[in-house]
Structures are given as structure tokens and as C-alpha cells.
Amino acid sequence: MRLAEYAAALLVATLGLAAIYLSRQLPYSAEYGPGAGFLPFWLGIALVLLSALLFREAKSQAASEGAATGPNDPDHANTNLSMGKSSRQPWLVFLGSILALAFLFQPLGLLLSTALFMLVTMRWAAQRTWFSSILFAVVTPIALYIGFSRLLVVPLPSGPLGF
Amino acid sequence: MIETLESLFRGFAVALTPTNLLFALIGVTAGQIIGALPGIGTVVGVSLLLPLTFNMDPTGAIIMLSGIYYGAQYGGTISSVLINMPGEAATVVTTLDGYQMARQGRAAKALGIAAIGSFVAGTFGVVMVTLLSPVLTTFALRFGPPEYFALILLGFTSLSAFSGTSLAKGLVSVIIGLLLSTVGLDIMSGRPRFTFGEDWLLDGFSFLVAAIGLFGIGEILDGMMNPADHPMIRTSLSWRNSLPSSAEWIRSRGAMVRGTLVGFFVGVLPGAGSTLASFIAYSAERSASKHPEEFGKGAIEGVAAPESANNSASAAAMIPLLTLGIPGSGTTAVLLGGFLLWGLRPGPLLFTEHPDFAWGLIASMYIGNLMLVVLNIFAIPLFASMLRVPYAIQASFVVLFAIIGAYSLDNNPSDVLIMTAFGLIGFFMKRLDYPAAGLVLGLVLGPLAEKSLRQSLTLSRGDWSIFFTRPISGVLMVVAVSALLWPLVMWAIVRRRPDKAGAADVPQ
């Protein structure tokens, strides 16, 4: 777990350095006051300083954790980025479905993309039966269509088939 | 005073029209449900439903969205009491005594006293909004750029200090939000910044897209790591059981009053919010109680105090939002986004330029609180039954709303992708305890913060003392900086009372 904390601190430091570097290419001061590069430059400095603090925190946290609980502590499995084996597969299915839906929402249109999404998440993430998964996959898109496109008149993508 | 009453009556005329009453009812009911479902917080609720109100009348839309905001403070109690899982961050501390009461078969009593306390506190909060808003509005007209900058800084530092486990992580979140807000056209010179020649970056990052992703997708991915359903305590939830006995009433009366006052003063500070209010109210109640040993074992005061506090705090947070245009939390930041979408700029001028809107909203909060107390005494079994919906199904619907919400903001498919990216960022932030509310607040207030900073320094020709020599801004700056010392204070308190430190631990 410490690894993720360190990685985050490193990322913060990198962001800070990037902000400093990029803001140096903008004017630091304008005619009557600070310019476009002023705020991002100091934000970058602040991030670099804070990342040092984050490193220190992660280090002292690691020290106290190591002293208080052994590595085989069962509670440990539920903290931060690790998770129980049983929920790993549904979680990955769920993540994959979200990404697929995000990419396919426009090309496939509202009805098709949400039907696919519901079918997959109900069957493999929520572990419903085939019957109830298909029911969700049919009813949900229709309800969304009626609710959003018809009642609330929110324009939504219609997909290649025109619906 | 008379003028205020007149304005309030005008507000009631707006709020009592059938459509606005309906929107208030939809809002508070949705808020109640969103609050009750663990893993779907207020920010998600408001940001997911915001895009759907585009075709509505602005007053009705904001009445509905605010209803979600304060309704969720009521709803969060249900899951805290019945399944020991807080539905809202602000009801975390309610699990301590509320769940114990439920195990003793007193769930209805816990929910009843929470509803009554919430109503008393919420109404007190709205009365204070009514009385203080006009006063603060005149005060706010004296605000120049240094005062605005100091106030925003106070919001940033207090949010960082109070929202998470680590001050450094809070500050990092805020600063990353600020950095993201600098992408796009520079507000003062009009030249592009950090756009790398990409046209789609010229408009910068929409904070609504960010908020929907960070809170909607991020929280759901986090919740799906442990989707196990929590066993619900089965007990009669009839309204007859929910009214307190006279002994319970006497015990919780004082707790309600103290919780209400604590909640109000904490809530009115930018960045502090209802979660902190509920924690402070709980520990204050325990210290004031004649039988502190009963706390954590089902003391009714342990429910009454924090539940009152979180409601008066959420009403109090409307004061800086309406009068100064400065949101203090993730949810009020999203509400501010809602105002801006309709061209309503909260701040001192809101009350003179759009009095019907401002007072209509305030009046609707009185009505909404009344609706909520009725819902919470008579319709609890209905809301409790929603807790039986498996988490994965709830989660799928949140994703659908998030995608549709992000798309409908601008009919732009790339917003959906940006939203999803923020969702992944939000997931990692949540796991590593970086408060996402800080990022959203930084992103929302970034342009105003930068503008007021640069204007101030232009006024003073680069002299930083301008922030400290003007009276209002000087006081705000001192408070803002001292918020950074808060963790040190806490550390000292915990060290001094090692025996009580354990009681502050919250079951997650």
C-alpha cells in the first residue's frame, strides 16, 4: 500500500514541476501586476513542497502500520487498492463496462449502448439471473428514453439505426 | 426587518405556486432517497440531476436541487441507523448510537428523534438565512478583490484542514483543482494557457464534468470494491413508535438545541460543512451529558445532537453561497454551478437583481423542511425498503445517470470521456484519502481566486501587505492561516486525552 502512497506523492511532484516548467513560458508579470504565468508558477512550487510532506507522511505511516499490525492482518485486505478475491471479477467487469459505455455512447446511441451496459453489469457484476438481466437490459433503455428524451427533452445520441 | 418579512412573503408567493411546490417535493424526495442509499452522496445526486433541469424554469430547478441537498441530510440517517452504513458523510457519527438503538429495537425512535431534530435545526437554519442574508449582503458590498481572495483562501484552507485525514492531501487536492482551472483562456489577458494548441482545451475543464466523474463514477468504483450487502435490522418502523416518550424528549431537548447552534456556527464557515458539525456536536454533547457512559450504547442524545447539527449546518452553508457567491463544500460548489448555468451570479447583487429567485428559494426551504419531517415520520418504511436494492444495481444506474448527465451538458461526446477520466482519478483519490471536494472547489473558485489575487496585487502594485492591512481581509487572512494549524491543535488534544481518543474512531 505504501507503494501507492509513494506513487501519488511522486505524481504530485511531477505535476508541480510540469506546472513550474510550463508557467515559465508564460509572462510572469503583466504591465500593472502579475501575469498569466504568476499563479501556476506558485501553485507548482506549492505542489513540489507538499509532495515532500506527502513522502514524509507515507514514511511515518508505514512505520506505525508496520509496528501496529502484521502483514497478515485481515483488515489490511480492505484498505486502499487491494480488495477481496470475490469482488475482484465483478469490479473489473464493472470498470470495463463503464469504459465501454463511455466510448460507445455516441456511436451506438442511447438505447443500444445502455442495453448492452445493463446486460453485462447485471449478469456479471450484479450476478443476476439471465432472465432478470435481460429484463433490465430491455426496460432500462426504454425508461431512459421516455424519461430523458421525451419528458425532459434532453438531446441524446440516437446511434446508427436512428433510435 | 419589516422589509425582510415583506421579501419573504413575496418568496412564499413564488414557492407556493403548484409547479414550484411540486419541484420542492420531487427534490426533497430525491434527496431523501439519495441520502439513504449508502455510496451515493449529495454531491453525486446534485451533479447527476443538474443537467436534467436544463429545460426547466431556473427558480424551479434550483428549488429542486437545493431540496436534494438538504433532503439528503435527513435521508442519510436511515442507513446509518438500520444498516450501520452512513448514507452521507454527515451521518457517520449517527451510526455510533443510532445503530445501537436499532439493535435494541428502538430504530423507529432513533429515526423519529433524528427527523424532529433535523426539522427544528433545519428551520432554525433557514430562519437565520432569512435574517442574516440581507445584513450580509450589505456587508458584502464592501468586499473588494483582497477580501474575496482572503475569503476564498479561508474556504480552501479550512476544507483542507477539516475534510480528510491529512492536511497535505487536502491542500494538494485544492491546488490541483486550481491548476486545472488555469487551463484555457487567461481571464485577464485573454491569451490561451496550457492548451498545447488543442482547441477543445480553450474552454478549460467544466467543473460539472469533473464533479460528475469524481463523485459519481469515482465513488461507485470505490463502493464496488466491497459491494456486500449489509444486513438490515428488522423492526417495526411504524410512525407510532417513532415519537419520543416524555423521558426521551426531556433527554434530547437540550441536545437538539446545542446541536443546532453548534451546527449553525460551523456550517456558516466556508469549507467546514455539515460533517465536521456533526462530529463536533456529538463530542460536545458527550462532554455536556450527565451520563457520558451511555454514549455509543444507544443514547438518544447521541442521535439528536449530530442530526440537528448537520441540518442547521447545511442551511447555514447557504448563507455564504447566496450572499457572497462562495461555496464552502463540494455540494454547494455544484449548486453554484447550477446558479451560473442560468446566469444567476450568487453574491450581494442576487437579492436586488433576482429577488423572486433568491427569496423564492429561501421560502421553499421552509416548505421543504416541513415536507421532510412529514416524509420522515410517515414514509420511513418505504425508504427503508430501498436499502434492499443490491449495491451493484444501484451502481449501474448511477453510471447511466453520470454518462447521460455529462453528455447532456453540452451534447459533446468528449465530455463523456473526460468525465470518465475524472471518475478514475476520483477512484484513486478516494482510495488514497485525497478529498475530491477540494479539487472541485479549487476548480470552481479558481477563476475568481486568480482574478481577485491579480487585481489585488495590481491595486497594490505588487505589495502583498494589501491582504493584511485592510480590516476585513486582514481578519479573514488570519483565520485562513490559522486553519492550517488545526491539525496541530487536534494532535495536542489527542495527546492530552489518550483515553478518549479511541472514541473518536469511526466505524467505516
A89 and A47 within one domain: no
Q: Rounded to a whole number, what is the distance in Å from the CA of B174 to chain A's nearest CA?
A: 10
Instruction: Report the alpha-carbon distance of residue A97 to residue A99 in Å, rounded.
Output: 5
The DSSP call for residue A147 is I
A132 and A115 within one domain: yes
* pLDDT value of position B498: 52
A70 and A96 within one domain: no
Last residue of a domain, one of A28, A54, A76: A76
Q: Is A158 inside a domain boundary? A: no
Cβ separation A154–B408 shorter than 8 A: yes
Q: What is the mean pLDDT of residues A16-27?
A: 91
* pLDDT value of position A66: 63
**3-class SS letters over B308-352:** HHHHHHHHHCHHHHHHHCCCCCHHHHHHHHHHHHCCCCCCCCHHH
**Amino acid at position B488, single letter:** L
State the greatest distance between any 2 C-alpha atoms of chain B, in Å, as a whole number.
Answer: 70
Q: If phi over 0 gives left and psi between -120 and 50 gives alpha, with beta otherwise, what is residue A88?
A: alpha
B454 vs A38, A87, A117: nearest CB? A38
Instruction: Report the alpha-carbon distance of residue B420 to residue B214 in Å, rounded.
Output: 8
Q: Is A58 inside a domain boundary? A: yes
Q: Is A163 inside a domain boundary? A: no
Query: Which CA distances in Å does B225 have to A61, A110, A145, B97?
Result: 23, 27, 30, 27
* Cell numbers placing B342: 442560468
Give chain B's end-to-end CA distance (angstroms, integer).
46
* pLDDT value of position A83: 65
A60 and A97 within one domain: no
Last residue of a domain, one of A58, A76, A94: A76
Cβ separation A148–B393 shorter than 8 A: no
Residue A162 has pLDDT above 70, yes or no: no
Contact status of B392 with chain A (Cβ, < 8 Å): yes
A108 and A50 within one domain: no
Q: Is A115 inside a domain boundary? A: yes
List of E strands, A73-163? none
Residue-wise pLDDT tens digits, A100-139: 999 999 999 889 999 999 999 999 888 899 999 999 999 9
Buried-exposed string B204-230: b where 16+ CB fall within 10 A, e elsewhere: bbbbbbbbbbbbbbbbbbbbbbebeee
Q: If phi over 0 gives left and psi between -120 and 50 gives alpha, with beta otherwise, what is residue B273?
A: left
Residue-wise pLDDT tens digits, B209-250: 998 899 889 988 988 887 766 677 777 777 777 888 888 888
Contact status of B151 with chain A (Cβ, < 8 Å): no
- Tell me how many degrees the CA angle B19-B21-B26 measures, rounded to the nearest 5: 95
Range of the domain at A124: 85-151
A57 and A119 within one domain: no
A111 and A65 within one domain: no
A89 and A72 within one domain: no
A138 and A107 within one domain: yes
Share of chain B above pLDDT 90, in %: 33
Q: What is the mean pLDDT of residues A68-96?
A: 64
Cβ separation A32–B411 shorter than 8 A: no
Q: How many domains does chain A have?
A: 2
**Amino acid at position A23, single letter:** S
The residue ranking higher by pLDDT, B343 or B210, is: B210
The residue ranking higher by pLDDT, B504 or B472, is: B472
What are the chain B neighbours of A110 within 8 Å (beta carbons)? Answer: 404
Q: Is A142 inside a domain boundary? A: yes
Mean pLDDT of chain B: 86
Asked if B83 and B231 count as a contact pair (C-beta separation under 8 A), the reply is yes
Q: Which of residues 70-129 of B touch A (CB under 8 A)?
A: none
* pLDDT value of position A85: 67
Continuous H helices in B345-435: 350-353, 355-378, 380-386, 391-410, 413-431
A33 and A71 within one domain: yes
Q: Which residue of B has its CA nearest to A107?
A: B413
Q: Is A162 inside a domain boundary? A: no
What are the chain B neighbours of A128 within 8 Å (beta carbons)? Answer: 393
A10 and A56 within one domain: yes
* pLDDT value of position A154: 78
Mean pLDDT of chain A: 84
Last residue of a domain, one of A32, A58, A76: A76
Cβ separation B51–A154 shorter than 8 A: yes
Residue B50 has pLDDT above 50, yes or no: yes
- DSSP three-state, residue B193: strand
pLDDT bucket at B506, cuts 50 / 70 / 90 = very low
Q: Which residue of B has its CA nearest to A113?
A: B400
Q: Is A34 inside a domain boundary? A: yes
A136 and A70 within one domain: no
The residue ranking higher by pLDDT, B313 or A152, is: B313
The residue ranking higher by pLDDT, B461 or B366, is: B366
* pLDDT value of position B147: 92
DSSP bridge pairs for B192: B185
Q: Which residue of B has its CA nearest to A141?
A: B400
Q: Is A98 inside a domain boundary? A: yes
Instruction: Report the alpha-carbon distance of residue B193 to residue A136 in Å, rounded.
Output: 46
**3-class SS letters over B144-158:** CHHHHHHHHHHHHHH
Residue-wise pLDDT tens digits, B411-460: 888 999 999 999 999 999 989 989 888 898 899 889 889 999 999 998 88
Q: What is the mean pLDDT of residues B177-190?
A: 87
Q: Which residue of A has its CA nearest to B454?
A: A34
What are the chain A neighbours of B458 within 8 Å (beta carbons)? Answer: 32-34
DSSP bridge pairs for A29: A34
Query: What's the pTM?
Result: 0.86
